[in-house]
Structure formats: structure tokens, C-alpha cells
Amino acid sequence: YIYGNNNVQHLKKRRFGGNRRQEIAKKLLNTFSSSSLCRKELASQLSTDLFDAESPLLPRLGTIRKAKSEKRNESRHDSNVVLSLNAMQNCDPWQMIIKNVGIQPFFIHYWTPDQLRVYNAFVKNERAAKISLDATGNVVKKIDRPSGLSRYIFLYLIVIKLPNESEGQISVAQMLSEAHNTNAIAYWLLEWRRNGALPPKEIVIDFSMALINAVCMTFASCSEGSSMYIQRCMNVLNKSESYKLPSCFIRVDIAHVLKFVTRWKVLNGPNIRRRVKEFYVRAIGQLSMATDLNEAKLIIKNIFIVMLSKDEGQSNNENIPSEDAKQFFVQRFACGIQQSIVNSVVNLQIQDCTDELETSNNDQEECCLIEIKNWISNILILATDFADTSGSRDNLMYLPKLLTPFKQLCYKLPLWSSIMCSSFGYGNLTASSASVESHINELKNRSGIEKNIRIDDFVKCHSLFLEGSMKLASGLRYFQNSESNINNE
């Protein structure tokens, strides 16, 4: 503390320069601290009493921000962000981190050697190593081009979750990209594999068809993408003569599936009550937990019956099929998807509704789905016969417009249900990508890295963040206990 008469009003501030300016600016960059927080820390060191006048030694907030900006500019390799990244790629330590850089569309693949070592150690130690993939925006600025045609850049992450570790969510590979299609994502994943990453046994992603197709092509040896993966899964389930189990278990996070269902236009109409929407969300949640084709067929048939039946109740003192179908779901709902998950998606404020998944116009891909389409059609024919039965009262769940989006969702059944768990021999009943979402939340809200900064600045800050994360991860009990096993392999 600085003691003395601190209650003197000063019209001017002392010059904020020299070593003090450099040290504070360097500290701000290295610790990802904000200028506002830095000024408060300086104020606590300079003031002694509560109502003292502001010290002339305390720089203004704008001055601190200016010093931080100047220091950041000094550390840049070029004023142009693309040239700066190209220069970084050819000097230490970035040449070991930045793998590929593209200009139009812009992309950058980067991961540290330590990330690769930690990931491979994890794969060797786990019988069914699982990774999660996701993307997020609002992390870097768009590229400034003379044409003005700049698109939003998303950060793609691959995250692993170490068992029994509270700090076990670890990012092991990253990509910043303007392109968000299958080819761009698959190229990143293939480069990661080519760099030495071992293949995982299970992958959990959201309902982005670009992500799904990319991981199917890269890790499941399905050159035609998700349609070929689905066909091979159906061959395995039906025990076809030429069946071959895919080399990787591809799964969609259950929360994303239910969120997608809540966005269907038919469930967001002005005349649709909450209980109707919640019923179908919960019913599809039950379908996601089906462990074999017979169980899935039973649930799908009952959903078809409920949505296509105008009546419910009884006929000739006996329950009609729609009444039995409802009672079936009443019993299933008692031990199904957690109510918190259902409530979180049903209560969402839907801004953009859709009834369809992303589809492909590739005839070869559509041919791969013939088997599951025929299977669904046969169930629908059976359910339609039951749905025509007259009952004693109106069915409030009657919703024939739900048929088309529900059928399209069922065509992707092996991706988002549990029917393949027994065939692969591993995997939880419901898939969750909570680990990657938790990591993204930490990166954006608790890492101290500013949002919407230049790409080269973000890569530098993120690399420092990753370096610390890898050192912490390698010291966890998980790796200490398995170190001898890993070294012996």
C-alpha cells in the first residue's frame, strides 16, 4: 500500500508508460484478464481508505485497454490475419500446432502434440473409447475481404471425457472453418487421423447431417455417408448373409434428437396443446431407448396408432387399439427419459420450425435406405389397420400431419436409438454429448479468452489454454494409474 494524504484531487494522471505499462499489458495477455479487472486490482493496491480521491497513479480504463491493444499488435506477425497465420505456421512453436490453413473458404486445423499424446493414451486405455464432436460460433471475427463476402466462422472441437474425473473434459483437436459441409469436416478428421490419431470406438454428435456424414465416412468406413452406415446396421440387425459391423459406433445425442422433434411445425401449431407435444416427445424418447428391432417395432407401431386414430376408449366393452397404445405408453413413461430432459426441450421458445432433416439428392444414398424404409412402411400398414377402429370418444392425440416428419426421423433410427448397443457390445442406453458442451461453456465463459477477436489472436490464446489443460489432464489419477499399462503396449 502507498500511505500518505490520498484525499487530494488531481486534475491530471501520471504518465502510464515504461516498464510498468509493458508489464501490465503483458500480464493482461498472458492471464486472459480483462482491463476492467486489472484496473480494480490496481485501485485496491493504491487506495487506503474508502472515500479517498482517485490516485493519479491509477491509469484510466481506456489507457489500460490501449496498452493491451498495443501489446497484442506487437505480438502479431502481420496486420493481415491470413498472412499472420501463414507466418505462425512457419515458426516455433506454432509450426507444431497449426497443421493446415485455407483461404477461401477459410479454415485452420490445429492441435498440439500433447493433445495427440493424451488422446492416444486415452484410446489405448479404454476398451470403448468415446469422443464427442460439436461446433460453436461467436468466438472469432469474420475475415475482412474486399468483396465483403465473408461468412461466419465456427469452432469445431473433438472432446474426450475421462472416467471418474471431475475435470476430465479435454479437447483433443480443433478446427476453425467458414465451410460447414461434409467435405470440410471430413478433411479435418482425415488429417487428424493421418497425423497419428487412433480411431475411436464410439462417437457422439448432434443432429447435423454434415457432421454425421463426415464421421461415418472417416471413422466407420462408409464411403456413402450415413445412408451406408444405416444400411450396414440394418444388415447386422437382420443378420443378412453379407453383413459387416461398422468399425465405429456413431450416435446422436438424445437431447438434440428431442430438441429437433420440438421444432416440428406440426407440434408448434396454434391449436396444439402442450400435453400433446409432450406426449409425442416422450414417446420418441422411449423409442430412443429401444434395444432391439422388435422393441422398436412395437413402439413405432403404437406411435402410429395413436397419431392416426380418430377415436379412443372402448368398443363392445373392450379397449380399442388406440386405447391399448396409450396405456402402453403410460407404463413406459414411468421408467423412461428423465423428465428434466423432456421439460428442457418442450419449454424451448421455438423461433424457426422445420419438419425435415437435411436430405441428399444422391440416388445411390437413397437406395441404401430402401431396407429401413420398407421396414417402416410395413409397420405403418399394420398400424393403419388398427387405427381405423371406432371407439367411444374422440382421441385428443389424433395428429395425422405428424406422420411424414416422424417417418423421416425413423429412417435414421440406428443413429439415434440404442438398437445397435448389443451388436457393438458397448455404449450407454442414451447417448450424450454433455462433455463437449461443458467444454465449450468453459471455453467461452470461464477461460478468460475474449469473444469475437482476430483469428490469430484466438489461436494463440487457445493454444495457451490447451497447453495448461493438457498438463492438468496428464497429472490426473486416471493417467497415473494407467501409465504402466500404456507404456507396455
Render pLDDT for 283-327 as a digit per residue (tens, 0 to 9): 999 999 999 999 999 999 999 999 999 999 999 889 999 999 999
33 vs 437 pLDDT, higher one: 437
**Given a cut of 60, is residue 488 above it in pLDDT?**
no
Q: 175, 107, 106, 98: which is closest to 145 by C-alpha?
A: 106
Residues in Cβ contact with 357 at an 8 Å cutoff, skipping those fewer than 6 apart? 207, 209, 260, 408, 409, 412
Render pLDDT for 402-430 as a digit per residue (tens, 0 to 9): 999 999 999 999 999 999 999 999 999 99
How many helices (H) and strands (E) in the chain?
Answer: 21, 11
CB distance 66 to 39 below 8 Å: no
> Average pLDDT of 365-374?
82
pTM equals 0.85
Helix (H, G, I), strand (E, B) or coil at 155: strand
- Strand 249-252 relative to strand 311-312, pairing: unpaired
- The confidence score (pLDDT) of residue 102 equals 94
From residue 90, alpha-carbon distances to 96, 117, 177, 459 in Å are 9, 22, 20, 15
Amino acid letter at 302? N
> Average pLDDT of 125-144?
94
489 vs 100 pLDDT, higher one: 100
Render pLDDT for 15-28 as a digit per residue (tens, 0 to 9): 888 888 888 888 87
State phi, psi for 441 to the nearest 5 degrees. Answer: -60, -40
- The confidence score (pLDDT) of residue 5 equals 54
Residues in Cβ contact with 233 at an 8 Å cutoff, skipping those fewer than 6 apart? 246, 414, 419, 420, 423
> Average pLDDT of 193-209?
96
> Average pLDDT of 468-477?
83
Provide, rounded to the nearest whole percent, the portion of the chain with pLDDT above 90: 61
390 grid coordinates: 371406432
| Residue 489 banded pLDDT, cuts 50, 70, 90 | very low
363 vs 107 pLDDT, higher one: 107
| Residue 59 banded pLDDT, cuts 50, 70, 90 | confident
- The confidence score (pLDDT) of residue 39 equals 83
**Given a cut of 60, is residue 485 above it in pLDDT?**
no
Render pLDDT for 91-113 as a digit per residue (tens, 0 to 9): 888 999 999 999 989 999 999 99
If you average pLDDT over every residue of the chain, what do you get?
87
Sorted by where each begins, the domain ranges of the chain are 18-75, 83-206+433-488, 252-424
Max mean pLDDT among 28-42, 233-247, 391-405 falls in 391-405
> Average pLDDT of 141-161?
90
Provide, rounded to the nearest whole percent, the portion of the chain with pLDDT above 70: 88
- The confidence score (pLDDT) of residue 346 equals 62
Residue with cell 436409438: 417
